[in-house]
Amino acid sequence: MQYRTLGHTGVQVSSLALGAMNFGAIGRTTQDEATAIVDAALEAGINLIDTADMYGGGESEEMVGKAIAGRRDDIVLATKAGMPMGDERNHRGGSRRWLVTELDNSLRRLGVDHVDLYQIHRWDPSTSDEETLSALTDLRRAGKIRYFGSSTFPAYRVVQAQWTAREHHLSRYLTEQPSYSILQRGIEAHVLPVTEQYGLGVLVWSPLASGWLSGAIRAGRDITTSRSAFMPERFDLTIPANRARLDAVERLAEVADEAGLTMIQLALGFVTAHPAVTSALIGPRTLDHLHSQLAAADTVLSADVLDAIDAIVAPGTDLAAHEKHDTPPALLDPSLRRR
């Protein structure tokens, strides 16, 4: 396992980190299975575990808390807030009112007195950066969080938040958690240059592109992944973007075979090769999934392999741009672009 410094924090984290989204109902992973996955991940050298309040409505945090009981000090523990937690309109977002309340809820579910990294799950356009950063700064001073970061922020929002922190003498986001894979490389054009400029740690999610790069999806096979059941549109081959992804996967499989690598090693080795990336979040549902991904822990891709990937999916290109999670609200809601 490789270790890297998380931004300017001085904290050393593993190049592969354990994402716990699949713990519980989402991935149909039981507590015993989750604990076994955590045990094996820690044994392999992973020291960062990432979850969120909204994963299973708090279930993931509860399962992580039980799995790490008695060894909290050996783990860099990260969670997130901001996505809806029920139907109550104020149980979401980045307001001080909600973050102060929800952090206490997360600490209770996790069974800890602090988290190392608290992240805003999505940019909240209805809340000012000053409001959110002021609340996070106070929570850090209270000792409930050590550092805080953003998740899936567009580049201009990362810059705006950094400016707000400086302008109002507040603590700043020290990390960003974007989606990144061989098939979704758009952040190379905007987000990653910004994170490098500000020295942010970067924890990338979905490096296997929702299973497209797992090795299980190939031409002529039925597409069945944990995501295909509840996001069928992402795997519908009548959609041009999905056809483009499948074509790319077939060509990438040839590159992996020639290099003597699995598709998972190719995919994880690619994202961890970027100098702006600190860790890649893996989200196994089973021990078998975990072990297949741990095999990439020390994978280093040669320049020839990286060049071959560039020839298949150009740098800075998203093959499914419509699936981006950082689209400005006015592009999604016509009422926001009409007078």
Q: Which residues contact 167 (CB under 8 A, 6 or more apart)?
A: none
Q: Are the C-beta atoms of 215 and 245 separated by less than 8 Å?
A: no
Q: Measure Cα distances from 119 to 147, 154, 176, 213 in Å.
A: 9, 15, 8, 27
CA proximity to 278, closest of 112, 114, 122, 50:
50
Q: Catalytic residue at 173?
A: no
What's the half-sphere exposure (Cβ side, CA atoms, 13 Å) at 244?
Answer: 14
3-state secondary structure of 255: helix
Kindly compute the dihedral angle of the four CA atoms of residues 111, 117, 118, 122, in this order, to the nearest 10 degrees: -130
Catalytic residue among 55, 147, 173, 180: 55
Residue with tokens 């419509």: 322
**What does 171-236 look like in DSSP terms, one character per residue?**
----EEE-B--SSB-GGGTTHHHHHHHHT-EEEEB-TTGGGTTSS---TTS----TTTTT-GGGS-
Residue 150, C-beta contacts closer than 8 angstroms, at least 6 positions apart: 119, 120, 123, 157, 158, 161, 173, 175, 176, 177
Work out whether strand 3-5 and strand 76-81 pair parallel, antiparallel, or are unpaired.
unpaired
Distance CA 217, CA 209 (A): 11
Catalytic residues: 55
